[in-house]
Amino acid sequence: MQITLTDIERESYKESPVHSLDGRVKILATIAIIVFAVSLPRMDDSNFIRLAAVEAYLLSLILLARLNPLYVIIRFLAVLPFGLAMILVQPFIRQPFIDTFTIYPLALPFGITATYEGIYFGLNLLAKYIISVTAIILLSSTTKMNDMVVSARRLGVPGEFTLLLTMMVRYLFVFWIVLKRIRLAQQTRLFDIWNKRTPRKWVLEQMGYTISSLFVRSYEQGERTYISMLCRGYGSKKARVYMHRKKINSRDILFSATTATVLVILVLV
């Protein structure tokens, strides 16, 4: 099973108390949680208790948001290898901020040795990584992409940047549909990357053609879109994201206060 853009969009369109929160509040809470996690001491026993408490808080929000558990797990597993690659090397390197190392009794080739300190630091890193990824999954699954961009603008992110981001959101979906059409057209002619009757090299070539065709199409789309932008007066340096004024309501304040209280307690404990 795989998670696609459609799945992420479907989850973000659900209705729940978390979904209905203002995007600004959710972005700030996510940033606060990530900053809290990464600012904890590099290696400390108390880290695990604190981070477990934050993870419990995030999981309760995921439950409240009625996100599909399988979707959350798959998204988490999909991102995990990127962090694991960084974490798994830690036992084998000598971190400059550690004074003394104790060799872990494990026989490895080429004179490679693992250390207890390295393993401990790797575990700290893993815990922080899990918190950050959970927070991001919660934010992106409970906030529509465009709402995130508009909220970022409301928080003061420069207009030029958010305008580009809104276009990126728009054309991400356009190209997702294009890719779906290409794959459908390939399937109608029995193309399957796992088909054992076709040589691997040929399958890779076809995948390469698909990716290169998407690149060419995106380049051409860019040209056509830019022309249409010019036709609508782009270039006046007045372009910005159009949005309504939105007030923070009592539920947003309650969520912000709860998140802040959780973090402050965990800092003080």
Partner 1 sequence: MTPDAPIIELKDISYFYASSKTKALDNVSLMIYPGEKIAILGANGAGKSTLFKHINGILRPNSGKVFVKGEEITRKNIRTVRQTVGIVFQNPDDQILAPTVEQDVAFGPINMGLSEEEVGQRVAEAMKLVHMSGFEGRSPHHLSGGQKKLVAIAGILAMRPEVVVLDEPTAGLDPLTASQVMRVIEEMNMELGITVILSTHDVDIVPLFADRVYVVHRGKIESQGTAREIFKQHELLEHAHLRMPRIAELFELLRESGLDVDIKITPAEARDEILRLLEMRTGRQGQKNADNAY
Q: What's the closest the beta carbon of residue 209 comes to partner 1, in angstroms?
A: 22
Of 188 and 236, which CB lies nearer to partner 1 in the complex structure?
Answer: 236
Q: What's the closest the beta carbon of residue 137 comes to partner 1, in angstroms?
A: 21
243 binds partner 1 (CB under 8 A): yes
169 binds partner 1 (CB under 8 A): yes
CA distances from 234 to 19, 168, 225, 239 (A): 34, 17, 11, 7
Of 106 and 231, which CB lies nearer to partner 1 in the complex structure?
Answer: 231
30 binds partner 1 (CB under 8 A): no
174 binds partner 1 (CB under 8 A): yes
| Residues 66, 14: Cα–Cα separation, whole Å | 8
4 binds partner 1 (CB under 8 A): no
| Residues 36, 48: Cα–Cα separation, whole Å | 13
264 binds partner 1 (CB under 8 A): no
Sole window of 118-126, 132-140, 208-216, 242-250 interacting with partner 1 (rule: CB under 8 A)? 242-250
Sole window of 44-52, 54-62, 142-150, 202-210 interacting with partner 1 (rule: CB under 8 A)? 142-150
Structure tokens at 94: 């000598």
Residue appearing with tokens 């003394």: 100
141 binds partner 1 (CB under 8 A): no
Sole window of 22-30, 164-172, 186-194, 211-219 interacting with partner 1 (rule: CB under 8 A)? 164-172
225 binds partner 1 (CB under 8 A): yes
SS3 (DSSP) at 103: strand
Q: Is the dihedral of CA 156, 159, 162, 166 positive or negative?
A: positive
CA distances from 193 to 28, 173, 186, 200, 238 (A): 42, 24, 10, 8, 47
221 binds partner 1 (CB under 8 A): yes
List the one residue from 46, 60, 102, 228 that touches partner 1 (CB under 8 A).
228
Torsions phi, psi for 225 (to 5 deg) = -65, -40
List the one residue from 126, 135, 241, 262 that touches partner 1 (CB under 8 A).
241
CA distances from 132 to 19, 31, 138, 264 (A): 19, 9, 10, 17
| Residues 28, 154: Cα–Cα separation, whole Å | 12
How many residues in the shown chain lie near partner 1 by CB under 8 A? 31
- Asked if 71 and 6 touch (Cβ cutoff 8 Å), the reply is no
Structure tokens at 72: 């959350």
- Asked if 149 and 241 touch (Cβ cutoff 8 Å), the reply is yes
231 binds partner 1 (CB under 8 A): yes
Of 66 and 217, which CB lies nearer to partner 1 in the complex structure?
Answer: 217
Residues that bind partner 1 (CB under 8 A): 145-146, 149, 166-167, 169-171, 173-174, 177, 221, 224-225, 227-236, 238-244
